[in-house]
Structure 1
């Protein structure tokens, strides 16, 4: 069966997330290959293409990439405010789309994109890669099999290590209009992961706060003002069980991690992220590997991730791509979609 070609919009080989996570994940996925790249600068686009192979096309106009006959799937890996103007031409051209989360700057924009994908008759996929974590999926199966019994209570704390200094490349995330702050990126990925772990989980309400209002650009004395909340809490309901839970999510933790405790009438699940080392961004719950244990009837069973030779940032993304290919080939619905993105956008609205 012929390979599916992926065109990457936002393929900066120096600072782009696409090269860090998506390129190795695509290379590890049977039935996929990168066939075209696009960046705003010719020199960067040419270099990205050269690093990926002599037959990879390059573009400075993303619409030209969308129209490239070698491109079947368009990956959108740019800042959120640009998503709509780049996704729409891809949908209109009948191309399948994988967008990084968040899908849009707000729920209205995300809903419009989901509706446009439906009208175009193509698949819109969203980058909720946390669903690919092997321990999260093992725990999901155990919960589904009734190992914990009726679910009673959930406690979650999740932190990132963003402190008083921030890189110039990431300073834009401090602006609430970027839709790329703690609530949107960290919170959105976490809430989707928890909804995957515990089907039927729903946000009831929440509250946000902005505590650190100024940051310094790393390596300089330049200060920038933050307008995006750096802390939030949320109350959740655990599906049909009647159980409830709470989330506390924040920035500025030098020992950043995610800890999940789920109590049922018959047992308890304890999960935590494992520090992968290196880039502090990899400690976020959609990337850091989970480990933990399940305790039932006084007997504890450890849950540990299997060996994986891929870079940490690419592991869960590779699972997302494997599911995406299966969905396109077999008509299944295993990869997260634009509809899933709209659902999380709506849950974030209940927290704001």
Structure 2
């Protein structure tokens, strides 16, 4: 169960057709709310994978008697006797109020809800509802506390409704992507249905705060797929179209993250191309400085040196290992000597890399042959 819960508009089964840059962007970056003159409370928590089952979660206090549940659970702060998955974590998210003690809705409030909801399956829905209420009321004055609980009720109702849309369009995409391409018409219709559902449950400001950045990433993902599926464009034209799309985005955290990721992908691509044609260290540094700046270029140059040093020691290790294995029939004695060589040539962290690194090198040799 991810504490930073998202319900992406692109069905999971067709994510494989989205380019690696898009997946990396979505996984690596999360927008941060800032610039609010208020009383922030922001912490982070660990992530756990799973699915939400919100069928019986209380909506507007109809199926949960909050006062009696709070007494029965013995909650004061909502953090007492946390379930195993939340033990040892910090509360993820934030509650922000203005100078009039009115709630300022942010994406961090959604993350706060998701933090507690991630324990579904370990705890009864009513207990989780009471945890959230106790936490909010312990940390938040009125009227902001009641405002936050109202939005929590709306959010739970939304989470209960969204799987129907995802399942319906997921099945459509299964039928439409047999040729290996994403049906963007199906995606567009799904986006419309999700937008309508959000309008049924939330005010406009809450929709923007909770889902604005997510929608920007979804729009970006769809545009990248559209560009990649355009067979009339060359690879260079596709790259230019992607850069043009990012350049026309509003100047915000999402754009900054996508620009950084685009630069990183361009960096990796150009580095590989330049190495294939035998570029010098100075040429690599100049290219990297242009894309990511001098400090990052210097760090990458240092990493190159460290990698080259590791490669040299790894080749020395492999040669000695093969010699020992070929010259003795006593495999136990040979392994003891190999272990000694490992300790001489590599530190603890590097020794953990050896098996995986050897497999990668073997795969490279197989691809070359």
Q: Normalised by the shorter chain, which TM-score bucket?
A: under 0.3
Structure number with larger C-alpha Rg = 2
**More helix by percentage:** 2
- TM-score by structure 1 length? 0.23
TM-score (norm 2): 0.22
Higher-strand-fraction structure: 1
Relative contact order, higher structure (CA 8 A, sep 6+): 1
